[in-house]
Structure formats: structure tokens, C-alpha cells
Amino acid sequence: MKELRIDDHHKIIFADFREVIIEEKADLIFADPPFGIGFDANMQTYNRKPDALSYVEIRKDNYPSFINELIRWCYNNLKGNGSLWLVSGWNNLRHVLNAIEDAGFYLLNHCIWHYQFGVFTKKRFVTSHYHLLLAVKNASNYVFNKPEHYAEDVWYIKRSYNRGVKTAGNELPDELVAKCIKTSSNVGDLVVDPCLGSGSTMKNCILLKRRCIGIEINSLLEERIRTKLSPL
């Protein structure tokens, strides 16, 4: 299990989250897992050359058990007043919602992120949203730093298009990750991301003075993570 220690409060573990035991329970878990949307014959990775690095996908038929394991892992690794932000597409949403309930979480909000650049379609509508699920362990004790007076559950946030830059699959915009972190944690809190990808959660935790542990199965992403964190 390889570790990349950034400083005393920020580290990345390259491993399957299911093999990782974290010593301190988290105040917040931010999880943006693979969506299991069936990239055929591609159990290990798919590659959107030339601009994407590899990404470990989950086979569609394995998705219900994968998401159950992930959400139970999150529940077990959160403090009693902890929160989970979970990003999901629509295809497997039913499995995700069932797993949240089965694990014992209380679903506080079901936010929608509307983004631009959905993939063009001819015979169906273009998908241009993700689901941002905010779940807590204790419905009467959790952190909620309301971002504005009238805080709505539909978020219009642009995603950057890094033409020619080698990115990991599906990097989230900083604005979105920062909004989740600020809403559901305080300065000094421990944030854990079990599917770290390119390091967006780590980057925003460093900027927002939260401690962070990131877990990523694909060690090929180390280069991208280092690039992303290097200006900080």
C-alpha cells in the first residue's frame, strides 16, 4: 500500500478503499465513485485518449455490491455527527439510494448539479446533471454551514474543459467540491475521500484548512495529483 504524505495533516493512500483502515473517524466523507455505466470489456480501465488518464471502472453487474460496500465503509468510518456527500449519475441512482438507506444514513438533501458540455445525443435528451446526495448519521446532530440565505438544492456550476491537458476521468470543479466541504465541515476537521481521482478533494481541503486523507486505487494518477497540488 503506497502512501504519499503531503504534510502531517494531508496524505494519499494508493489502495482499494476496502483494504484501508483509518485511525481517526472522519467528520466528512466526500465520495465521487465510478458510476458503473458499463464500459464494455473494461473492468480495469478505460482510456479517453489523448486527454485522459486511466480510471478504474466497476462492471455494471457488480455495481450494487460495490456501492453497498462503499457506503457501509463510509458509515463505519464517520464520526457520530459526521456527513457524507456522495456524487452519482442517474443510471445507478436506485442502488445508491437503497445503499444509503440500508447503511443507516439519513438523507438530508438530494441536490442536483447542472453542468455544461453533456455528450451530444440524437435520440434522447443530453444528460447534463449529477446527483449530489448529502447524508448524515444523526438527523439531529450534524454540521451545516449554510452557504447563503436562500440556499437552493440545484447548483449551476461550470466544469472546466482542459483541452490538451492530461486529466483523470471526470474531474470535479473546485467550486463544487469547495461548496460541499465548506457546508459540511469546519476548519481543522478531518475529511476523507475514498475515491480521490485527481485530488480535487485534497486540493480544496488544503485551501480550506481541513485535514484530509485521500484513497485512490489507481496509482497511475499520482502524477496528475502532484501536478494539481503543486501550485499550493
16 vs 222 by CB, closer to ligand SAM: 16
Q: How far is the CB of 90 from ligand SAM (least distance, A)?
A: 15
Listing DSSP states for 83-102 in one string gives EEEEEE-STTHHHHHHHHHH
Sign of CA dihedral 115, 54, 68, 172: negative
Among 195, 205, 212, 213, the residue binding ligand SAM under the rule CB under 6 A is 195
Strand partners, 133: 86, 110
Q: How far is the CB of 101 from ligand SAM (least distance, A)?
A: 22
Neighbours of 185 (CB within 10 A): 24
121 by Cβ neighbours in 10 Å (0-12 / 13-18 / 19+) ranks as exposed
Residue 198 binds ligand SAM, judged by CB under 6 A? yes
Q: How far is the CB of 46 from ligand SAM (least distance, A)?
A: 11
Residue 99 binds ligand SAM, judged by CB under 6 A? no
User: Contact at 8 Å (CB) between 108 and 54?
Assistant: no
Binding window for ligand SAM (CB under 6 A); candidates: 72-80, 89-97, 156-164, 190-198: 190-198
Segment 120 to 179, residues that bind ligand SAM, using CB under 6 A: 168-172
Residue 77 binds ligand SAM, judged by CB under 6 A? no
Residue 167 DSSP code = B
Residue 55 binds ligand SAM, judged by CB under 6 A? yes
Residue 53 binds ligand SAM, judged by CB under 6 A? no
Over the window 7 to 46, marking each residue x when it contacts ligand SAM by CB under 6 A and - when it does not, the resulting string is ---------xx--------------xxx------------
Q: How far is the CB of 65 from ligand SAM (least distance, A)?
A: 12
Residue 215 binds ligand SAM, judged by CB under 6 A? yes
CA atoms within 13 A on the CB side of 189: 24
Listing DSSP states for 4-58 in one string gives EEEETTEEEEES-GGG---SS-EEEEEE--------TT-SSEE--TTTB--EE--
Amino acid, res. 102: D
What does each C-alpha distance from 226 to 4, 150, 213 come to in angstroms? 10, 37, 15
Binding window for ligand SAM (CB under 6 A); candidates: 75-83, 118-126, 155-163, 212-220: 212-220
Q: How far is the CB of 12 from ligand SAM (least distance, A)?
A: 11
Interacting residue ranges for ligand SAM, rule: CB under 6 A: 16-17, 32-34, 55-56, 168-172, 194-195, 197-198, 200, 215-218
